[in-house]
Each structure stands twice: as structure tokens, then as C-alpha cells.
Chain A
Amino acid sequence: MREFIAILQNELIKTIRRPRSFIGFIVIAFICLMLQGAFYQDGKEIMSAVTGQFDNLFNIQGNILNGNLICFIVLQTLIVQMPLLVAFVTGDLISGETASGSIRFLLTTPAGRTKVLIAKWLSGLMYTLLLLLLLGIFALFVSRAIFGVGDLMALNSEGLTIIRADDINWRWGLAFLIAFLSLSVVASLGTMLSCIMDNSITPIVTVMATIIIFTIIGMFDMKTFDVIKPFLFTTHMISWRSLFEDPVPVKSIIISCSILLLHIVSFLGVAIYYFKRKDITT
């Protein structure tokens, strides 16, 4: 166990010290601040255009353009981009070291390969968690500081749902947890491909290509695609949005989380199987 903790500590140091890790943090901060700035400038105009559609149906009062709405919009926007940032780091975890040759240094230590891989995978998950925490701080807390707190007007496939401000914090907590689970699937896929491929670019590109293809499949309502959609992890990556429905579809969220977990276990299983048998020839 001491050995594993030591390796995990090493992996965390490497992840944090790698210049590419900072790109993710900078991108998250930049996008959040950019969107917040834009909404601060033009938000009221946009909101009156949106709410104008419902003027004949009901009367909307209070601070609609609040921190909760900004966070909802930012999270919806970034949930598509964040896998890229996660893949950028996790797709390189093993393959980057294989390409640079430092894998020899790593695999001639007394720790076995499974421990090394799990330590690397966990460091990838911790990086993902850090990205999400940063997103949470910027998207939720900074937005609330700038725009104030208010009821969330969530527009989704079922229509418009109003979530009261005093009933929202637990939803955000779970939403970020599901977002973490979704991004962990991407991190695990990146780690798996990183074990199979020997250069650092191909796993990153492959993860992105997979997400793009699966997302496209998810966009079309066709019989052929409908059969496979429930099994694609991208279908379940947006299940955090269901937390902003009323009532919350608990069963469907549990199913989505289970499918995401199954993907994580499968990707990690394949990664361990492959990595334990891999010949280090570079």
C-alpha cells in the first residue's frame, strides 16, 4: 500500500507540474469569465428576447439572469468541450511516457504494472475533479457573486422548468457529481487508448473522434441509431440535466450512472489487461 501511495504521489506531482495540465485550467477560467462578461453586457437583452416568447402564457418576475442560470448555461456549453481537456491529459498518461522513454524509468521500479496504471488513472481522475472544481467555482460561485442568486429557469426537452433558489443547491451538488462520473468515462477511455497506442497524439484524437461520432449518432432520431443509443456513454453524459426537471427522474438517472460506471470499469479492465502484457520497446 505504501508503494502505491508513493507512486500515486509521484503521478499527482507529474500531472500538476506538466505544462499541458495548466491549459485546461486556463481554458475553463477563460471561457467562464468570457461568458460571464458577455452576459453581464448583453444578458438582459437576450433574456427579454427569450422570455418574450412566454409573455402571452405567464408573467415572469424577479431576477431571471442570476448566477444559477449562468452556471446552467456554462455547464451545458462546457460539458461538450471538457472531454477534450480531459482527453488532452489522460490520453497522454501512458503513451506520452512511452513516446518519451520515461516509461522505462517508471516500470523498472518495484511497483507492479497494475499499481502504476491505477495510480496514473487516479491521477487523471483527480485532474478531472480539479477541472470540475474550478468550473464549479467560476461557473457557480463567481456567477452568483456577479449576478446574484435567484430561481433557475431551466429550458430542456420537456419544456420550461422553474427551480426555486432554495431547492437548487443539492441539485448542483449532484449535477457536478454526475458530470464528474461522465468525465471519468472520458478519462478512462483516454487511459485505455493511451495503453494501447505508443504516441501521445493518437489516443487524444481517438477519444475526441469517439465522442464526436457518438454525439452525432445521439443527435438523429433514426431507428438504427435508436438501438445503440442507450449503450453509448455520450447519451448518459448529459443526464446531469435531468436533475433540473421536476420531478427528478431518479430511475433514469440511476440507470445512466450505472451505464457510465460500467463503461469506466470496462475501459479500466481493458487498460490493465493490455498494459500488463505490453512490451516496452521504445
Chain B
Amino acid sequence: MHPAISLENVTKKFKDFTAVNELSFDVNAGDIYGFLGPNGSGKSTTLRMIMSLIKPTSGAIRLFGDSLLENRNAIMKKIGCIIEKPDFYTYLSAKENMKLFARAHLLNYSPSQYDHLFEMVGLKGREDDKVKTFSHGMKQRLGLAQALLHDPQLIILDEPNTGLDPQGIIDLRHLILTLNKEQGKTILFSSHILSEVQEMCSKMVVINNGKVVVQGRVDELLSHENLRVKLEVVDPDAAISCIEESPWKQFLESRDEKLFIFNMGKKEIPSLTAYLTQHLIGIERIDYRNQLEEYFLKITQS
């Protein structure tokens, strides 16, 4: 079976600036795939290339096994998307906007189908209001309705949580999981927030500066087997002599004044803290992160 999305050495240059550099990854049918990267990492450019809004400078994009370059129109029937913020014709109502989109897809929606669609995205009762009266969150919900209107096999969502209130985020998460589990839809979900991807996606790819940093299964990439544990102690001199004489020395990565950094699994942490407490080493603070979380935090902050 062909992957739903397959990118092969895709590069996009805007004059001298390389936005995406030799990017390759596959999204298998039925996956909820996280596409993670800090702002400006090339996520939106990549998604726009998949949606044929931007032409790649080089490389190949295949969707459902077909070349995007050669079969663009047929492929687009199978994809629904929200690219960045959804924008509509603000002088038309929500329903009129959906009718335009339905017509473009040669769909003949019945009033009850529209009702169901608006109910699904939480806009029931607002369908006849002009879009110019909508908040950003409501437009985001309408964008989702537009992405789902033609019952696509693949849904591409570019930072869909932006502008949504906490309940909206929970609803969206629930909807994505339902669409994936009950209807078998493939979802490519971009975000710059690791926890969002962690909560929903089975696989992910992390990019930075247009290049792949890491890709794989979320549970493996964010496993608790290899954590960076930061420990802040009250008496660093006593702590170092205590650690130097113990088996915990092998886990110590670095030390900076009162801060000790260890590389270890989550299950070792209680034993380490118990050992230090037994030797009367006071612990002021303990914090741990996965290596990827640590890396992601670093690139996001920079």
C-alpha cells in the first residue's frame, strides 16, 4: 500500500533563502502524524507544497502513490486542509461559504448534511451569520468544516489549535481522534507545541531550518528510558563527593554549581533521590525531560 504522503528530497528556495532543505518523510494511511518544528522552521512551506500552493524547487511529492505534479486535480479531491489561519469570504455567511466550497467539489449537499457539518464543528445556530462577525476561533471551526466537507481521506491541519479556547482545543482533539479511529482518516497535524503532538499523534517528524531533525514513533522518541534529569542540591560539595563514590557517577552528565544533570531512565529517579536523602543531601528541585523535549525547548527558545 502506498503511503498517503511521501516526500522525497524536497527543497524549496525563495531566491537565496532555503526554506525547506532536502526534506523526506512518509505518512502512512491511517496515521495521525505530527509535524513539529519551531516557528519559521519550514512547516507551513512544506504543507503548502503538499497542497500545491507552492511549487518545490526540487524533489518529489507523491500522495496516495500519485505524483502531485502530474495528478494534482485528482489528488486534491482526496485532501482537506487548513493552511495557517482559515480565511473566508467575510461578506458571505458561513453556510454560503460552505456552499461555494461544496460547488467547487461538485457536491450537492442537502440542508441536513450542512446541519450535521455545522453541529460537528460546534457552529450550529451560527451558520447563517456573516463570517465577518466570527471570532478567530469560530473561523478555525469553520475551516475545519470546510476541510471535512468533501469527506477527504487525508486531512492536513496546520496549527489548528491557534485561536481556539481551551474547550475548542479539547473538542478538536476529540474530533481528530474520532475521525482517525472511526473513519480511518489520515491526519497530518503540524504544531510548534510538542505536547499537542504527543497527545494525539502516533508518529512524528521534527524539522528545524527546513531539515529533518528526527522522525519516528512518538512513544519511542518521547520514551522515558532516556531522560535528562536536573537535580538542584543544597550542599553541592557534599553531593559531589557522595555521587563520586557511588554507582550514580556513571549517569552524571554535567555539573554547574548546585545543578547536577543526569542521563537516566524515569524508573531510576526514586532510587537516586533515596540514595541522596540517605546521605543527608538536601534536594531543592528536581526536573526531568526527554532528550527530544530538551532539544525542542532549546530550538524553540532560540
Contacts and interface: CB of A to CB of B under 8 A. Distances in A.
Interface of A: 2-3, 6-7, 9-10, 13-14, 17-19, 100-102, 104-112, 277, 279-281
24 contacts: A2-B106, A7-B103, A7-B104, A10-B104, A13-B100, A14-B89, A14-B92, A17-B91, A19-B91, A104-B87, A105-B146, A108-B52, A108-B53, A108-B76, A109-B76, A109-B104, A110-B74, A110-B76, A110-B104, A112-B72, A279-B55, A280-B48, A281-B14, A281-B48
Interface string B198-220: 00000000000000000000000
Given A101-B87, A105-B86, A105-B88, A6 B76 contact: no
Nearest to A116: B104
B100 A281 contact: no
Contact of B79 (A6, A100, A108, A112): A108
B104 A277 contact: no
B88 A102 contact: yes
Contact of B103 (A10, A105, A279, A280): A10
B84 interface: yes
B106 A3 contact: yes
Contact of B54 (A2, A13, A106, A280): A280
A105 B84 CA distance: 11
Contact of B53 (A2, A102, A107): A107
B51 interface: yes
Nearest to B54: A279
A6 B96 CA distance: 14
Nearest to A279: B54
Contacts of B53: 104, 107-108, 279-280
B200 to A, nearest CB: 23
Contacts of A106: 104
B116 interface: no
A105 B96 CA distance: 14
Interface string B260-280: 000000000000000000000
B79 A111 contact: no
Top 10 A-B residue pairs of the complex, sorted by shortest distance between their CB atoms: A101-B87, A109-B104, A280-B53, A110-B76, A279-B54, A6-B103, A102-B87, A110-B73, A10-B100, A110-B77
B128 to A, nearest CB: 14
B114 interface: no
B73 A111 contact: yes
B290 to A, nearest CB: 34
Contact of A17 (B52, B76, B83, B92): B92
A51 to B, nearest CB: 50
B83 A108 contact: yes
A150 B85 CA distance: 60
Given A104-B53, A279-B54, A280-B53, 18 more contacts: A6-B103, A9-B103, A10-B104, A14-B92, A19-B91, A100-B90, A104-B51, A104-B83, A107-B52, A107-B53, A108-B76, A108-B81, A110-B74, A110-B104, A111-B73, A279-B48, A279-B55, A280-B48
A108 B72 CA distance: 10
B181 interface: no
Contacts of A111: 73, 104
B105 interface: yes
B101 interface: yes
Contacts of A100: 87, 90
A105 B101 contact: yes
Contacts of A18: 91
Contacts of A9: 103
A111 B104 CA distance: 7
A101 B85 contact: yes
Nearest to B107: A6
Contacts of A3: 104, 106
B51 A108 contact: yes
Contacts of A19: 91
A105 B87 contact: yes
Interface string B44-56: 0100100111110
B5 to A, nearest CB: 15
A10 to B, nearest CB: 5
Contacts of B96: 13
A102 B92 CA distance: 12
Nearest to B100: A10
A251 to B, nearest CB: 45
A279 B54 CA distance: 4
Nearest to A2: B106
A281 B54 CA distance: 7
B105 A109 contact: yes
A223 to B, nearest CB: 43
* Residue from B77, B81, B100 whose CB has the most chain A CB atoms within 10 Å: B100
Contacts of A280: 48, 53-54
Contacts of B54: 279-281
A280 to B, nearest CB: 4
A6 B146 contact: no
A11 to B, nearest CB: 9
